Every structure is written in structure tokens, then in C-alpha cells.
Amino acid sequence: MTVVTDTVTDTDVVSRSVSRNRLVLRRFLSQRLAVAGVVVVLLLIALAYLGPIFYPWKYDQLDFQAFQSPPSPAHWFGTYQTGGDVFARTLRGLQKSLVIGLLGALFSTALAAAAGAFAGYFRGATDTVVRVVTDLMLVLPGFLIIAIFSSALRDGSWLLFIVLLAGFQWMITARVVRGLTQSLREREFVQAARFMGVPGWKIILRHILPNMASLLIIDATVGVSSIILAEVGLSFFGFGVQPPDVSLGTLIADGAGAALTNWWQFDFVAGVLVLLVLAVNLVGDGLRDALDPNSEIEGAK
Amino acid sequence: MGKFLLHRVGYLVLLAMVATVVAYLLAATQLHPRSRYEGRNPAPAEAVVDQRLTELNMNDKTPLVERFGTWAKGVAHGDLGKTVDGESVNTEMSRRMWVSLRLMLIGSILGTLLGVVAGAYGAIKQRKWSDQTLTVISFVLLSVPTVVLAVLVKNAGIWFNQVSGNESTPLLFTTGEITPGMDTWSWAGIGDRVGHLVLPTIVLAIGVNGFAFYSRYQRNSMLDVLGSDFLRTAQAKGLRRWSALTRHGLRTALIPMATFFSYQFALLFVGATFTEKIFGWHGMGEYFVDSITKNDTNSTAGVTLFVAVLVLIAGLLSDVVYAALDPRVRAS
């Protein structure tokens, strides 16, 4: 992991006057697949939020003239057994999955940063507590625990669902952050701040976390796709997003049984989901190469 | 080394115990076995329901501490309690455990091997077309959720049976783990089991928890090693390229995989849950999903114990592999 204070190493390509942000942007834009990933993600976001405005059918509307009909100009992705429109529901599900993925990744990265930095900076009792909690959370099967909470989720609080998803996502990153904090802690600029009497939490916010911004950005991006996948898995069993609300996970569950006979009820939703996750993964990979060219594989000892 | 392992075992066992206790307490407060009797018509008398729930140690009128005490006492004597249907969790688990383990063990071993071989091969052939094809395949597979993959593989199997024209006597089965009524220990029975095992194993082996994951990380780690000085030294002292690559290169590049392996094992259970549910296997994954929907406290805690023990074993295994691969660990 590189540290912000000694950035530009490949001086043969870039002159000294180029700022780090410029350099990162340039490195990122030079990767065609990563740029394509950004474009796809933006298009999907636009589709999810603008699509319903222009599309005639709403996600909770039923068409009693078309039960289980294949794709047609009236129903782009066909309809369900009840006459619900697959395209309208896919857009609705996409909205929910996007919100869950983005918010969840934000929560989990923030949690990882806080836990890791505090453990690494304050050491001693804080460190021990964080380590034990981290180890315990790693042993606790997150999927099972969130499933146990599913009856509490039935009351429709999807924010709690996001918090739970994020709560089982932060542990490995927190370990990496802790390790980095321990080495940053001994650097002159942190020592100087400490001797000037700056309180610990301020040092963490001002000096330590900004110095691992690249790691945190990458982690948040990768987190989006893994949270979306976790949501799909839980909702597939009915442990996540609850009806009448829909997400890509509940739609996959609805369509899975009909995948052979009424292919349009499964294939489109699955396609959108895979496209979304693939695009986010491409962005994450591109960011990693752009922000952190010498990165070791994360989590490896 | 022995002391280190012993210390580690102690810590992991403690964590597994805490995990099970936490799961029990959460399940006992979040699940409501009483609701199973509420919807019935005619409604059973409350005293009857109370008595039945008390028998199962799931009566929410008993204080949680008391219920937990009864449960913990049973667990300490090796009895995980009763399911909501009044059967023994132990019997249920001992039957289902091997169904899941068979699937998970074969799937994870195959997936890890495939991933390691493909990743190392890709790194050696860096930027050649074979490497690029493997990278694209693993990248796409990494974005396909296990649920979707399982449905696709299952449908591909059904399609294969239709095309090859043996729908009535298929080679690849898509439901269950054995054809009902088949004698388990005959040659035909074993063949039948293998036929049932193929498709679900493919799902677990190539998916997010197997090939797709390991090949990407193995490739990265192998690329790091390929550029290192000690590999050049090994070749300079006269070692053939192949033996230098395997003995010095691959061995070093495998070290980070040992860590990943322990993390992946808990996720593998989740992957197996989808696979079991979609392919109609009656394993632990299915048991877990059902126990939540049936508000079955004791079964939920039992499954958590099972998963915690699996993670514990995987963690220990990765420590041992780590020590075997990395001489520095053994020395310290």
C-alpha cells in the first residue's frame, strides 16, 4: 500500500507538476474496461430512476389482458402469471438493489475504517476488544444471523437490513486498516501532531484515514457488489427485502422456478443483476490499478 | 509449533462456543415458535400449547435465562435439543450432515484445485490468449451469484438430457441426491449417486466460492512470485524452469491462498445452501432455511454450531498448510 506522501514513482510517464488526482484519473481512464464499467453503472442508475417515468406500466400494476405473456412491444420483458410487468418490476428491483449496495458499502467501509484505525492507534485494551469482536464476527456465519433477524425485517425496515448486511462485511478490511494504522502511527507527521496535543480521534480523522483513502475507496467499491450479492441471496429465501417491496433478489426468487418454461421471468432479471455486478467489479479493479499500482493482494498475510 | 497450534485450537473452540451461544440467544429472542399454533383452526387451548412448547424448551413464557440453562445443559451432554416437530436435532443433523459435507468437500477441493492450477497457469502464460480467456471466464463467473449459476446449470442439465434423448433414464440428475428406492451400496446405487452429484458439484466448484475466486487471487500471487529474485536464482543455479516454477514459485504463491481458504469455507456453506435448495438436496443448508421459516430455535443453533465447527476446522487446516508451506512460521 503506498502512502500519499511519497506518491509519484513512475516519473518517466508523468511530469512532476501533475497532481495526484490528475494522475489517478489519467491512469483510470486509460483502462477501457474500467471506463466501460463506469458507463454501465451510470446507465443502470439512470435506467432505474428515469425508466419508470417514461415506461407506461408501474411495478405494482397488473395487466389483466396479458397473463404470463412473452416479451412484446407492450410489455418489453413480458409479464408474470398475475399480469405484473417484468420490466417495471426489474427497474424497481434495480433501484432497491442499488440503494442497498451503495449505502451498505458506505456503512461497512466506514465501520472498518473506524474499528481498524482505533484499534491500531490506541492499542492496548481497544485493540484487544476490536480483535476479539472481529474474530467472533468472522466465525459467526453472517448469512445465518441475518436470516435469524428476518422476522424483525418483516416490519419493513430495510435500513436495518442494510445495517445488518454492512455489519457482517467490515471485518477483513478492518484488519488491513489496523495494520496500516500501526505503521502510520510511528510516522513523523503523526508523532508531531500527538506531541502538539491533538486528541487521538482528531489525528485519526485528519492524518491517518486520509492516508489510506485509496484502500478505503477500493474497499467501498468492491463492497457494493458483495453487498448486492448478499442481498440477492437472502432475499432469495425470503429473509431479506419483504413483499410488496421488490429487489433483484426477490425477483430472482420469483423467476427461478419458471426459468425453463417462462424464460423471460428469469433471464432478464438475472442478466441485469450479472451486468450490474460485473460493471461494479470492473470499476473496482480499475480503481485498484489506478490508485494503488503496487498493491499487494488484500488480506494476504 | 505444537504449543502454537494448541493455543490456536483453544481460541478457535472458544470462538465457536461463543458463536453458538450468540446464535441461540438471537434465535430464542427473534423466532416465535408460538406463532406456529396461532393460525390453526380450531385454535388449540393455550394450556396445551404452553405444555407442548415447554416440552420443546421453546416456551416464551419461561424466562430466557432458564431456557438457555436447559439448552446449555443439554448441549454440554451432547444433546442439541428437539426440533419444533418434536424430533431430536442430533438425529436430524447426523443424517443431513453427510449430505452437505459430501457436496461441500468435493466441491471445495475441486474448486480450489481448478482455481490454483488455472491461476498459476495464467500467470506463467501472462498476456497470452489462454491467460486472457481464463481471466475473462473467472471475472464473469465472479459476478454471477450462486443462485443464478445453480439455476442455469440445472436448466443446462435438463436441456442436455432432452437433447441427448434420454429423458427417462438421464445421465445427469437435477433433483435430489439419489433416485428413491435405489440400493445405496450397489454399483448401480453408487453410479446413481455420482450422476446426482455432478451438476451441484459443478456449481460449487466453478462459482464464486471456488474456481472463479481462487484463480484470480492465485494469478496475482503467482505474478508477484514470478518477478522475484529467488526464482531467478533458482534457475541460475541450474534448476529446470518447470521444477523452479513448481518447487519455488508455486509453493510460495500458495501461501496467501491458505488464508483465503479459511475465510471462504464459511461462505461455501451459504453457496451450498442455494445449491441444495435448487437441486432438492436434503442437507444442512436446506435444514437451516427451513428451521428459520418454521421458527425452530434449537435447529437454528444446531446449524450454527455445525458451521462454526467447519470454520474452526478450516482455520486450523489453513494454519497447518501455512506452516507446511512457509518455513518462517515453523521456525518461530
Torsion over CA: B63, B68, B71, B77 (sign): negative
Q: Does pLDDT of A155 surpass 60?
A: yes
Mean pLDDT of the region A151-171: 83
- The whole-angstrom distance between A163's CA and the closest CA on chain B is 16
- Choosing among B292, B297, B316, which should be mutated to test the A contact, i.e. which has the most A CBs within 10 A? B292
Residue pLDDT, tens place only, B240-291: 888 888 888 888 888 888 878 777 777 788 888 999 988 888 889 899 898 8
Q: Is the pLDDT of residue B63 over 50?
A: yes
A133-142, A179-188, B118-127, range with the lowest pLDDT: A133-142
The per-residue pLDDT for A280 is 93
Q: Residue A67: inside a domain, yes or no?
A: no
Closest CA to B213 of B125, B308, B114, B310: B114
- Domain span at A127: 22-54+80-291
- For an interface test with A, the pick among B138, B147, B319 (most A C-beta atoms closer than 10 Å) comes out as B147
Whether residue A281 contacts residue A222, with contact meaning beta carbons closer than 8 Å, is answered with yes
As a whole number, mean pLDDT of residues B193-201 equals 87
Say if CB B210 and CB B115 are below 8 A apart.
yes
Q: Which residue in A146, A129, A126 sits closest to A227, CA to CA?
A: A146
Cβ-based contacts of B274 with chain A (< 8 Å): 233, 236
Burial string for A12-22 (b: 16+ CB within 10 Å, else e) reads: eeeeeeeeeee
- Comparing CA positions, the residue from B326, B330, B319 lying closest to residue B255 is B326
- The answer to whether position A299 is within a domain reads no
More confident: B270 or A37: A37
Measured between CA atoms, how close is B155 to chain A, in angstroms? 7
Cα–Cα nearest to B226, from B324, B126, B322: B126
Tell whether A151 lies on the interface with B, counting CB pairs under 8 A. yes
Residue B82 CA: distances (Å) to CA of A147, B35, B40, B118, B225: 20, 17, 22, 46, 53
* Phi, psi of A173, rounded to the nearest 5 degrees: -65, -40
Interface contact A147, partner B, CB < 8 A: yes
Question: Residue type for A62, please?
Answer: L
Between CA A85 and CA A105 the distance in angstroms is 30
- Give residue A17's pLDDT band: very low, low, confident or very high (50, 70, 90): low
pLDDT given for residue A11 in this prediction: 45
Residue-level pLDDT at A35: 92
Q: How confident is the model at residue A44 (pLDDT cuts 50, 70, 90)?
A: very high
Among A141, A273, A297, whose Cβ lies nearest the Cβ of B148?
A273
How many A-B residue pairs are in contact by the CB < 8 A criterion?
A: 131
Say yes or no: A232 contacts chain B, CB-CB below 8 A.
Answer: yes
Look at A301 and B255 and tell me if their CB atoms are within 8 Å. yes
User: Which three cell numbers mark A6?
Assistant: 511519497
Mutate to test the interface with A, among B151, B294, B312, B316 (most CBs of A within 10 A): B151
Q: What is the DSSP letter of A95?
A: H
Closest chain A CA to residue B138? A278
Distance of alpha carbon A245 from alpha carbon B63, whole angstroms: 36
Range picked from A12-26, A254-268, B32-46, B206-220 for highest mean pLDDT: B206-220
Out of A20-29, A104-113, A272-281, least confident range:
A20-29
Angle at A293 between CA A291 and CA A296, to 5 degrees: 105
In our burial notation (b when 16+ CB lie closer than 10 A, e otherwise), range B286-307 reads bbbbbbbebbbbbbbbbbbbbb
Task: Give the model's pLDDT for residue B167.
Answer: 65
Q: For residue A298, tell me if it sits in a domain.
A: no
User: Quick check: B178 pLDDT over 80?
Assistant: no
Name the residue among B287, B304, B292, B295 with its Cα closest to residue B53: B295
What SS3 class is residue B318? helix
Closest Cα in chain B, distance from residue A188 (Å): 31
DSSP state of B168: S
pLDDT at site B48: 83
Q: How far is residue B282's CA from residue B288's CA, in Å, rounded to a whole number?
A: 10
pLDDT band per the 50, 70, 90 thresholds, residue B134: very high
Computed over every residue of chain A, the mean pLDDT equals 84
Please, are residues A254 and A90 in contact by the beta-carbon 8 Å criterion? no
The whole-chain average pLDDT of chain B stands at 85
How many other CB atoms are there within 10 angstroms of residue B66's CB atom? 11
Give dist(CA B18, CA A94) in Å, integer.
Answer: 37
Give the nearest partner residue to A300 out of B23, B256, B277, using CB atoms.
Answer: B256
pLDDT-based confidence at A64, cuts 50/70/90? confident
Provide the whole-model pTM: 0.86
How much is the pLDDT for A277?
93
**What pLDDT, on a 0 to 100 scale, did the predictor assign at position A297?**
40
What is the spatial distance between Cα B274 and Cα B208, in angstroms, rounded to a whole number? 12
Q: Say if residue B24 is exposed, middle or buried (CB neighbours under 10 Å; 0-12, 13-18, 19+).
A: buried
pLDDT at A256 exceeding the cut of 90 = no
CB atoms within 10 A of CB B178: 18
**A15-19, A135-139, A272-276, B165-169: which has the highest mean pLDDT?**
A272-276
Average pLDDT over residues B63-88: 86
Q: What is the pLDDT of residues B209-238, one digit of tens each?
A: 889 889 988 998 898 888 888 888 988 998
Distance CA A198, CA A291 (A): 29
Note whether A141 contacts B266, CB cutoff 8 Å.
Answer: yes
Distance in angstroms (rounded) separating the CA atoms of residues A233 and B270:
9
CA distance linking residue B172 with residue B193, whole number of Å: 10
What cell does B54 get?
Answer: 415447554
In a domain, A227, yes or no: yes
Which of A96-105, B4-13, B150-159 tops mean pLDDT? Answer: A96-105
Q: A281, A227 in Cβ contact below 8 A?
A: no
Which chain B positions have a beta carbon within 8 Å of A236's beta carbon? 147, 274
Contact status, residue B210 vs residue B278, Cβ threshold 8 Å: no
Model confidence at A10: pLDDT above 70 = no
Domain count, chain A: 1
Residue A46 lies in a domain: yes
Q: Is the pLDDT of residue A296 over 70?
A: no
Residue A144, domain CATH: 1.10.3720.10
Residue A278 clears pLDDT 90, i.e. is over it: yes
Identify the closest residue of chain B to A136 by CA–CA distance.
B15
Highest-confidence segment of A35-44, A52-61, A206-215, B22-31:
A35-44
In a domain? residue A86: yes
Residue type for position B88: S
Q: Is residue A171 part of a domain?
A: yes
Mean pLDDT, rounded, for A88-98? 90
Cβ atoms of residues A165 and A231 within 8 Å:
yes
Mean pLDDT of all residues in B97-124? 90
Q: Is residue A24 predicted with pLDDT exceeding 90?
A: no
Say yes or no for a CB contact (<8 Å) between A300 and B144: no
C-alpha cell recorded at residue A65: 389482458
Question: A16 in a domain, yes or no?
Answer: no
pLDDT confidence tier of residue A156, bands split at 50, 70 and 90: low
Nearest-CA distance A67 → chain B (Å): 23
Give the closest of A141, A277, A297 to B221, CB-based. Answer: A297
pLDDT digits (tens, 9 = 90+) for B185-194: 777 778 888 8
Please identify among residues 155-184 of chain A the ones whose CB lies closer than 8 Å to any CB of chain B. 172
pLDDT for residue A14: 46
Cβ A278–B155 below 8 Å, yes or no? no
